[in-house]
Amino acid sequence: MTLDNAGVHGNTPVIIGVGQYMEWGKSPLESLSPMGIAAAAGAAALEDTGAAEKVSVTLDALVSVRIFPDSWNRPRSPNPFGRAENPPYAIANRLALNPALGVYGSVGGNTPQKYINEMASRIAAGELKLAMVVGGEALRTARVARRENLALDWHESDGRLFEDRGIGKAMATAHEFAHGLGVPIQTYPLFESELRARASHSLDKHLLAMAEMMKPFNEVAGDNPFSSYGAPRSVSELATVTDENRFICLPYPKWLNAMDGVNQGAAVILTSVGHARALGIDSKKWVFLHGCSEANEQILVSERINYSSAPALGLNARQALNMAGKVLDEIDHFDIYSCFPSAVAIACDEIGLDRLDPRGLTVTGGLPFFGGPGNNYSMHAIASMVQQLRKEPTAFGLVTANGGYLTKHASGVYSCEPYGEHWQLPDLHSLQLEVKGLNYPSFTERPAGRAAIEAYTLAFDKGEPSRAIIVGRLIATGERFLANSEVDQDLLQTFVAHDQVGRIGTVRSAEQTGGETNLFTPQ
């Protein structure tokens, strides 16, 4: 293989175009469908290349990030507004594209980076010339239309074949769902409870620490024209529980949760250096994927090694940095996946980044303030990172992407600096084997006996605690279990007032109580 005159292999993958789109304030009757929003972002990415017509003619792959309504059921469940039966070609048709390969992605916020990694690898191998990875959500439109009982027609079909990557393994069991796991707003707080216990924080002190970490995200969102919830909020506003900023699940008030009521789309276009030159793409637009990686935790939350770490996240981020030949101190910009504060804190701990690092932890504003467009948030992070790096051609940026409940991870290291090595994916298989080889606790669905709380949260309903969700360990065997507590307001209020991690009690299985869930009774 020969190097071109800039010292870069001609088949080195490079990003040549990015685009974003956001709708706000429109009637659902005037708003775009999810495919329309994705296509609007794709059109912006094509325009961003500076050679939209030439790119359109030679684009041979389009990957559509899976929309949220298709992410929870098998097979795809009915949609009250209809759906695009062939998502990649629904987007392609709007853009007058005719790719030979259409892919509908799997589930997870990791998938934008995952599919950029895949397309880069296939371009480097000469399998593809030019690919678009694109996604869009109309979650706000759907929510308002349901509330106002409006009829929308989003149905469309296309007979061309496409690859549907499916929803993959279920990320929660029926047993977990019964006890309250498997819903993001009730699962991420479990991680936060162990972080709080590890820091020996009172509730007020921990609220303040979370708010101080997330306030810079809010500031970035305020300057981002594609943000949906960028209104400025002080640390005090974020940390203070009020009627508006009410608890959703302990210890997260409303403004520390991902906000998914958005209409947002983003797209990234990749090709090879050789093809970019043939198309006449200005090299000032080129951004290289210097490093990338992927790894998954144990899929089920009940089987994690603990609730204050994510070893697969740290391993994959370090592998991406190693591929790029960089250490953390050499990274100028970050976008750490930020659906909830625990996701940010654990990611920082895993990669060795201070939670208040002055370089900042986001280039978008994060899911609570920029917005959480389903599986596609990290596409916005990558697009924003590309735009930032073009302003600083020697700078490097790291994006971490997270799917599920700190479950599936992908990372990318980006820069305008040319990538001078032979580009190939790192060894992902060995990395996954390393994760699988860790020492995980055993789990029982039928616990009985003395036990201690390992992690917990309270679900709230209209400002009042309604349910305790508990992960515990049997004292005699160390086995992990899930349980709920009695729904007693005095008891639940003690869970609010005092940290419960480590609290001793007795657990009885659902079979013993005759109920639907295991029951933990604290001493």
What gap in Å lies between CA 520 and CA 523, rounded to an integer? 10
Which H or E run contains 377?
A: helix 377-391
Which H or E run contains 403?
A: strand 396-403
Reply yes or no on whether the pLDDT at 438 is more than 80.
Answer: yes
Is residue 265 within 8 A of residue 20, CB to CB? The reply is yes
For residue 199, the tally of other CB atoms under 10 A from its CB is 12
| Residue 258: predicted pLDDT | 98
What gap in Å lies between CA 75 and CA 245, rounded to an integer? 37
Query: How would residue 78 be classed by pLDDT, with cut points 50, 70 and 90?
Result: low
Is residue 299 within 8 A of residue 337, CB to CB? The reply is no
**Does the reported pTM lie above 0.85?**
yes
| Residue 6: predicted pLDDT | 61
| Residue 410: predicted pLDDT | 98
3-state secondary structure 177-203: HHHCCCCHHHHHHHHHHHHHHHHCCCH
Q: Where in the chain is the domain with CATH 3.40.47.10?
A: 13-171+259-436
Query: How would residue 265 be classed by pLDDT, with cut points 50, 70 and 90?
Result: very high
Reply yes or no on whether the pLDDT at 497 is more than 60.
Answer: yes
What gap in Å lies between CA 52 and CA 36, rounded to an integer? 18
- Domain covering 449-522 assigned CATH 2.40.50 in the classification: yes
Residue 266, classified by CB atoms within 10 Å of its CB into exposed (0-12), middle (13-18) or buried (19+), is: buried
Which H or E run contains 42?
A: helix 34-48
| Residue 79: predicted pLDDT | 73
Strands 163-164 and 101-104: parallel
Q: What is the mean pLDDT of residues 379-399?
A: 98
Tokens of 368: 């609570």
Q: Which fold has domain 13-171+259-436?
A: Peroxisomal Thiolase; Chain A, domain 1 (3.40.47)
What gap in Å lies between CA 389 and CA 285, rounded to an integer? 10
pLDDT in tens, 83-117: 999 999 999 999 999 999 999 999 999 999 999 99
What gap in Å lies between CA 72 and CA 166, rounded to an integer? 10
Q: What is the mean pLDDT of residues 481-494?
A: 96
Strands 408-415 and 396-403: antiparallel
Q: Where in the chain is the domain with CATH 2.40.50?
A: 449-522
Query: How would residue 152 be classed by pLDDT, with cut points 50, 70 and 90?
Result: very high
What gap in Å lies between CA 14 and CA 375, rounded to an integer? 23
Query: How would residue 74 be classed by pLDDT, with cut points 50, 70 and 90?
Result: low
Reply yes or no on whether the pLDDT at 5 is more than 50.
Answer: no
pLDDT in tens, 206-261: 999 999 999 999 999 999 999 999 999 999 999 999 999 999 999 999 999 999 99
329 SS3 class: helix
pLDDT, the chain, mean = 96
What gap in Å lies between CA 171 and CA 408, rounded to an integer? 10
Tokens of 419: 């990538």
Closest alpha carbon to 441 in 305, 307, 311? 305
What gap in Å lies between CA 487 and CA 484, rounded to an integer? 9
pLDDT in tens, 28-61: 999 999 999 999 999 999 999 999 999 999 999 9
What gap in Å lies between CA 183 and CA 91, rounded to an integer? 30
pLDDT in tens, 191-221: 999 999 999 999 999 999 999 999 999 999 9
Query: How would residue 77 be classed by pLDDT, with cut points 50, 70 and 90?
Result: low
For residue 259, the tally of other CB atoms under 10 A from its CB is 20
